[in-house]
Amino acid sequence: MAEFMRDPMLDFTGNVVLITGAASGFGALAAEELGRRGARLVLGDINAAGLGLVVDKLTAQGIEVQTMACDVSSETDCAAMVALARENFGRLDIAINNAGIAPPMQYFEEVDEETLDLQHRVNVKGVFFGMKHQLKVMRSQGSGVILNVSSMAGLGGAPKVAAYAAAKHSVVGLTRTAAVEYARHNVRVNAICPFYTLTPMVTDIQAPEGATVDQVHAQLASGCPMKRLGKPEEVVSAMLMLCSPALTYVTGQTLAVDGGVSAF
HSE, side-chain direction, 13 A CA sphere, residue 30: 35
Q: Among the options 107, 164, 182, 249, which is catalytic?
A: 164
In a domain, 140, yes or no: yes
Q: Helix 126-141 vs helix 162-182: angle between axes, to the nearest 10 degrees?
A: 10
pTM of the predicted model as reported, rounded to 2 decimal places:
0.94
164 catalytic per annotation: yes
pLDDT tens column, 91-137 = 999 999 999 999 888 999 999 999 999 999 999 999 999 999 999 99
Note whether 180 and 252 are within 8 A (CB): yes
Report the distance separating Cα 223 and Cα 200, nearest Å. 20
Domain span at 123: 3-196+231-259
DSSP category for residue 127:
H
Domain assignment present for 214: no
pLDDT digits (tens, 9 = 90+) for 32-78: 999 999 999 999 999 999 999 999 999 999 999 999 999 999 999 99
The CATH number of the domain holding residue 168 is: 3.40.50.720
Q: Within a domain: residue 107?
A: yes
In a domain, 161, yes or no: yes
How many folded domains does the chain comprise?
1
